[in-house]
Structure 1
Amino acid sequence: MHSAVFLIEFGAIILGLGLLGRVAGRLKFSPIPLYLLAGLAFGEGGLLPLPASEEFVAIGAEIGVILLLLMLGLEYTASDLVSNLKTQYPAGLVDFTLNAVPGAVAALLMGWGPVAAVVLAGVTWISSSGVIAKVMGDLGRLGNRETPVILSVLVLEDLAMAVFLPIVTALLAGVSLAAGSATLAIALGVAGGVLFVAVRYGRLISRFVSSDDPEKLLLVVLGLTLLVAGIAQQLQVSAAVGAFLVGIALSGEVAEGTHTLLSPLRDLFAAVFFVFFGLHTDPASIPPVLLPALALAVVTALTKIATGYWAAKRAGVGVKGRWRAGGTLVARGEFSIVIAGLAVTAGIEPALGPLATAYVLILVVMGPLTARYTEPVATWISKRRGPEGPHASTTPAPAKPQETVPDQDPAGRV
């Protein structure tokens, strides 16, 4: 009986996602907000809770994030990763300063104490790699000039989580400095080791994985990705980082074949991830913290746009690409919820969980909108203000060269 109920519930979820995707496609809009609203409607405190399929949806959501980051890694080569990390690390420092500080200040203003301030700083700092990967794919921007900048910021954030999560865990648990340092050293060692293997032995890994049989290629790549992601997570490193670095390690025909085979699976489980996020949000917990969450969301949306604009400008990207980079980085998601969940489990501040949930829901709905409309709105405002500005010149400005999308190989790499 339980299996029959599960099949009915899960089948209804998948069918509903398909219909919502069609609606979003006709409206030429990202389906992510619709998936989230569907999760709210059928989750805890919603219109029709679906308890039988909850555990399977949770596992599917985790697989969805892993596949999103694997596919994102396939768009990047190891040399691109290293060169961008070397050149974009100042963007990581700017990102931390502009986006972590507002969360810490908000927590202190609400009287939550220093530990809660560190936690909320992490919630407002980290963008959602899963949401952003999905949005860039939906908008067809994976080959744009600003995309390497966006990916560099996301990678720096994900790698920073290898340091931040052990620190937060140690603070919440009140463990000794020695124990916290040991956990941090392990996390850094694992992240560095996986990155070293991906960069140094990427060709060997691709040769090992390569197969002319699509079935064997799918099984080996998927199994390797889940294995590395699981080991990384077990050692206090993000599973997303592990999956991303597996994608980095794969190249050539293997990357092309993997992209083709895993795209449908990625889209399925990514949709499940966004529904799962909504399923675990009680709508009744949101109204009491809606105003502070909304204020924090507006402030940190603007700081993320500023971060992306600055990073893209520093990389020599044109003005339109800078605005697109900033708008794309706005969404928060899985990491923010993980960080807030650690604090809720430790019981340091009862209101922190609902506030973080409302904050992430606002930005995960706002993120696809800012990604799509920040650049057109900024261009419109610029045109409106330009001719009327005090320093407007009667001499027409020289035409700027049009931004072009760089050449790609068949795998879609920049």
Structure 2
Amino acid sequence: MNYIVFEIGLAIALIALAGLLSAKLRFSVIPFYILVGMAVGPHSFEWWHFDLRFIESAPLIDFLGRIGVLFLLFYLGLEFSVGRLIKSGRSIAVGGTIYIAINFTLGLLFGFVAGLPFLEMLIVAGITTISSSAIVAKVLVDLKRTANPETEMILGIIMFEDVFLAIYISVVSGLVLSGSSSLGGVLLSASIALGFMLLVLIIGRKAVPLLNRLLNIRSNELFLLVIFAGLFIIAGFSETIHVAEAIGALLVGLVLAETEHMKRIEHLILPFRDFFGAIFFFSFGLTIDPFSLGGAVWLSLGAVALTLLGNFAAGMWAGHSAGLSPKASVNIGLTIVARGEFSIIMANLAKAGGLLPIVQPFAALYVLILAVLGPLLTKETKVIYKGLDRVFKLSRLNREKQKG
């Protein structure tokens, strides 16, 4: 019989238990959501003579997970408005460019050395380049570092990553989904992506006074219906022109962040972001065969080592360019080492395009390791800095810089 509602209820209960466990252990919740999804997914086994593998409800959970992606990026757009991006300043642009250049180059080289085809190389580079905004923001708040001098640079790099992601995922999705890998295909995909983004942002900014009037709705029910309609229509339309639906959601958030209703939207959307976002990570876990992870262990560990090296170098360089101390620069590199939602989005794109199956377990294991390591490294930055200081004499460099 079809017990779809019961299965969805069990899934939500398992997600809630994973969240409670992570809160009890004071750890990032993302690995727990993914792990519980893997444990009860279609590839797992029956538990205590009960089949909890969510086979019948998997398509619905997957769709709810897609909605979670929309809300995650829509909320990020609300947080990082177009105006804030423009006002961020030269130092953030330089720091963001340094971070992307180092990590993206290392990602491409890693894919090349691993012998992956061209499209898989692009996916792997995307997986290893973009930090998890959700984990980074949560860590900064939990450790009470929002007032630290390096936090502005950290948030700036995250904003820069979002802009890079919007362009990159649009180009790669066009290549992967259309099957074109020629220079003409790349240029056409990039032109469509950039044209669509600029059109939405330009029209959106010009329409801010009109949006202020249209959204002047007293009823929260009607207000949310209007917001949701705009979100899903723009996101859905972007998918029809081979631009990732998540980017459409990001663009809607960036535009609405300029309106006087931004705080109200943010407040009402937050529960939807948290609920559907949790289902997104759970649904990703459902797609992973735990018994296939063994084949991706060395690939994932190599990528993790390269990411740690790249983040340290990028943090030191970006911090130095902004005039920050070596200690603050180390904090930058360690704080943004976590990978999460964006890496998973790239892996799902590879699956949708029928690329090599190794990408999914690689991304799952890579995200799990860094989602665990990221908060730990950030929490222990003082200890790590002292160890690095003994090796690289960073404090001496700092004193020489102050004298100069």
Fold-level similarity (TM above 0.5): yes
Q: 1:147 to 1:342 in 2, by over 3 A?
A: closer
1:110 and 1:140, CA in 2 relative to 1: closer, same or farther beyond 3 A? same
TM-score (norm 1): 0.79
- Give structure 1 stretches of 5+ with no counterpart: 399-414
Contact 1:78 1:248 in 2 (8 A): yes
The match for 2:210 among 178, 186, 204 is: 204
TM-score with structure 2 setting the length: 0.81
Name the CA shift for 1:197/1:135 in 2 (closer, same or farther; >3 Å).
Answer: farther
Does residue 259 (structure 1) correspond to residue 266 (structure 2)? The answer is yes
Structure 2 counterpart of 1:244: 250
Q: Report the equivalent of 2:362.
A: 355
The 8 Å contact of residues 100 and 161 in structure 2, kept in 1 or not, is answered as no
Task: Identify which of 159, 170, 188 aligns with 2:166.
Answer: 159
Shift of 1:202: 3.0
**Are 2:80 and 2:159, in contact at CA under 8 Å, matched by a contact in 1?**
no
Which AA in structure 2 matches 1:18?
A
Question: What letter is aligned with 1:68?
Answer: L
1-structure distance, mates of 2:260, 2:167: 31
Q: 1:210 to 1:138 in 2, by over 3 A?
A: farther
Change in CA separation of 1:314 and 1:159 when aligned onto 2, cut-off 3 Å: farther
Distance 2:328 2:334 in 1: 10
Instruction: Say whether residues 1:231 and 2:232 are aligned partners.
Output: no
Cα deviation per residue 1:304-342 (whole Å; 9 max; x = unaligned)?
354355445545667666445433432334544454455
- Equivalent of 1:122 in 117, 123, 126: 126
Among 40, 51, 54, which residue is 2:55 paired with? 51
Does the aligned pair in 2 maintain the 1:150–1:308 contact within 8 Å? no
Q: Hey, what's the Cα distance between the residues in 2 that align with 1:299 and 1:390?
A: 22
Q: Distance in 1 between matches of 2:22 and 2:142?
A: 11
Letter paired with 1:164: V
Q: How many residue pairs were aligned? A: 390
**Equivalence for 1:82:** 86
Shift of 1:378: 3.8
Distance 2:128 2:380 in 1: 20
Which of residues 23, 26, 35 in structure 2 aligns to 1:25? 23
Alpha-carbon separation, structure 1, partners of 2:395 and 2:128 = 37
Displacement of 1:40 after TM fit? 1.2
Distance of aligned partners of 1:285 and 1:303 in 2 relative to their CA distance in 1, 3 Å threshold: same
User: Residue 149 of structure 1: CA displacement?
Assistant: 1.0
Question: Does structure 1 residue 96 correspond to structure 2 residue 96?
Answer: no
Secondary structure of the equivalent of 2:16?
helix
Whether the 8 Å CA contact 2:175–2:185 is kept in 1: the answer is no
Alpha-carbon displacement from aligned partner over 1:371-407 (angstroms, at most 9, x marks no partner): x42534445547x849x969869x9x99xxxxxxxxx
Q: String of CA shifts for 1:35-79, please: whole Å, max 9, x gaps.
A: 111111111322441112211211111111221222222223432
CA contact (8 A) 2:19 2:29 kept: yes
Measure, in 1, the Cα distance between the counterparts of 2:238 and 2:324: 34
Q: CA deviation at 1:275?
A: 0.7
Instruction: Pick the aligned partner of 2:296 from 272, 289, 295.
Output: 289
Aligned to 2:176: 169
2:166 counterpart SS class: helix
Letter in 1 for 2:283: F
Distance 1:317 1:238 in 2: 36
3-state SS of 1:286 partner: helix
- Aligned partner of 1:41 among 33, 39, 42: 39
1:249-269 per-position Cα deviation (integer Å, ceiling 9, x unaligned): 234651121122121111111
Q: Note if contact 1:124-1:300 (Cα within 8 Å) is conserved in structure 2.
A: yes
Distance 1:112 1:8 in 2: 42
Distance 2:190 2:88 in 1: 25
